Amino acid sequence: MCRHTADISNPAHNHTACITSALSSAERLCQSRGVRLTPLRRRVLEKIWQNHEAIKAYELIHQLSSADHTVKPPTVYRALDFLLAQGLIHRI
């Protein structure tokens, strides 16, 4: 994740590379702890890190769902609980 909010205001800042690096770190952390960063957990974390503002669970559900597949609230809440327990996100 970007170290400082000022990073994103810098025109030279590559936020995509920043997110990619943070996701790689999250994967290494989970692997070292013997827990799985499943594809859905990774997608939830990526959606959270794409924005430097708080995001609500139902907004995540909307963003993760498609025309042919709706992500159910318990699935997102379980992913959020996992990410919170691993210290990858925090609750506001």
Q: What is the pLDDT along the chain (92 residues), one digit of tens a residue?
A: 444 444 555 666 677 888 899 999 999 999 999 999 999 999 999 999 988 789 999 999 999 999 999 999 999 999 999 999 999 999 88
For residue 27, is it within any domain?
yes
pLDDT at 52: 74
For residue 90, is it within any domain?
no
**8 Å CB contact between 38 and 8:** no
62: domain CATH number is: 1.10.10.10
For residue 91, is it within any domain?
no
- The pTM of the full predicted model, rounded to 2 decimals, is 0.81
Domain total in the chain: 1
CA-to-CA separations, 60 to 9, 20, 36, in angstroms, rounded = 24, 19, 20
* Element of type H or E holding 8: helix 5-9
For residue 92, is it within any domain?
no
pLDDT at 55: 93
pLDDT at 53: 85
For residue 26, is it within any domain?
yes
Q: How far apart are the first and last CA of the chain?
A: 17
